[in-house]
């Protein structure tokens, strides 16, 4: 996604959020991207967005499925059409950690069974994209809790090593979150004073 397209998407997201009178946190709680990711999108700094993030934009901003993608290709988003006679269920639920862990294990097993270039391999990648945000949020909260309460981070880092070491790129929408988790885990990352202050404020807000 080029810079002009990213900026157009950012403007469209801001306009829709203001139209709905929702804060970034409310959008996130209603199934949208995390606050840092949403802020990056609104600033026009989202170089790459996963299919899952695009879906989250549609959900959190009450757009018809595929609307965020339409904006990227030069179209207009379509507000979600709801029948007033139908009760809409909550857009988010609390998921037990054991459920998330189970999903991750199954996704890994499917990935190992899938051969390259097969339909199962493609489906496995899509499944991973869907599970990743759940696992990412769980890991972030786990690290925040242990850091705030003086828990032992060493065993956690050893346990979560593969996740924390997952390659990330500055153009990725979750670049900020990935760096924040590494900072929480005590892993050295290059950061300026503004980034450190932002991370410290985010950790404080998690109390």
DSSP conformation letters of 86-142: SPPPPS-----HHHHHHHHHHHHHHHHHPPTTSHHHHHHHHHHHHHHHHHHHHHHHH
pLDDT at 13: 95
- β-sheet bridge partners, residue 63: 79
175 membership: H or E segment, kind and range: helix 175-184
Query: Rounded to 5 degrees, what angle do the CA atoms 81, 82, 84 make?
Result: 140
Q: What gap in Å lies between CA 61 and CA 55, rounded to an integer?
A: 10
The residue length of the chain stands at 207
Residue 77, domain member (yes or no): no
| pTM, entire model | 0.52
| Cβ atoms of residues 31 and 59 within 8 Å | yes
Q: Is position 186 within any domain?
A: yes
Q: How far apart are CA 178 and CA 83, in angstroms?
A: 39
pLDDT of residue 92: 59
Judge if 56 and 141 occupy the same domain: no
66 and 120 co-located in one domain = no
User: Do 139 and 173 share a domain, yes or no?
Assistant: yes
How far is Cα 29 from Cα 20, in angstroms, rounded to an integer?
14
Residues 156 and 190 placed together within one structural domain of the fold = yes
DSSP SS3 for 172: strand
Q: 21 to each of 16, 42, 60, 170, 195, how far by Cα in Å?
A: 8, 15, 12, 30, 28
* Interatomic CA distance for residues 30 and 60, integer angstroms: 5
Q: Is residue 19 part of a domain?
A: yes
Query: How many structural domains compose the chain?
Result: 2
What is the phi-psi region of residue 117: left when phi exceeds 0, alpha when psi lies from -120 to 50, beta otherwise? left
From first CA to last CA, the distance across the chain in angstroms is 36
Residue 155 and residue 201 in one domain = yes
**CATH number of domain containing 43:** 1.10.260.40
3-state secondary structure at position 31: coil
**What does each of the 207 residues of the chain score in pLDDT, given as a tens digit?**
788 899 999 999 999 999 999 888 888 888 888 888 899 999 998 878 888 888 889 989 999 888 999 999 888 999 987 644 444 455 556 677 778 778 878 888 888 888 888 888 888 888 887 787 777 888 888 888 888 888 777 776 666 766 777 777 787 777 888 888 888 888 888 889 999 999 998 888 887
Q: Which pair of tokens denotes residue 196?
A: 């450190």
Same domain assignment for residues 58 and 103: no
The answer to whether position 52 is within a domain reads yes
The answer on 105 and 45 residing in a single domain is no
SS3 44: coil
Instruction: Give the per-residue pLDDT at 114.
Output: 84
> What is the span of the domain harbouring residue 111?
97-205
* 101 plus 182 within the same structural domain: yes
Query: Is 102 inside a domain boundary?
Result: yes
């Amino acid at each position: 996604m080029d810079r002009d397209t990213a900026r157009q998407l950012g403007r469209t997201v801001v306009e829709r959020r203001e139209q709905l009178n929702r804060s970034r946190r409310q959008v996130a709680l209603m199934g949208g991207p995390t606050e840092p990711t949403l802020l990056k999108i609104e600033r026009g700094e989202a170089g790459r967005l996963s299919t899952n993030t695009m879906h989250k934009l549609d959900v959190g901003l009450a757009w018809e499925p595929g609307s965020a993608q339409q904006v990227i290709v030069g179209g207009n988003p379509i507000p979600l059409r709801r029948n007033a006679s139908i009760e809409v269920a909550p857009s988010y639920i609390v998921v037990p950690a054991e459920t998330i862990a189970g999903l991750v294990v199954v996704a890994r097993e499917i990935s190992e069974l899938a051969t390259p270039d097969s339909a199962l391999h493609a489906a496995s990648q899509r499944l991973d994209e869907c599970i990743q945000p759940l696992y990412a949020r769980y890991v972030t909260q786990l690290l925040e809790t242990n850091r705030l309460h003086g828990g032992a981070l060493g065993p956690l880092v050893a346990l979560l090593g593969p996740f924390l070491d997952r390659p990330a790129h500055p153009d990725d929408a979750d670049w900020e979150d990935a760096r924040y988790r590494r900072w929480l885990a005590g892993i050295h990352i290059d950061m300026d004073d503004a980034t450190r202050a932002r991370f410290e404020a985010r950790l404080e807000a998690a109390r």
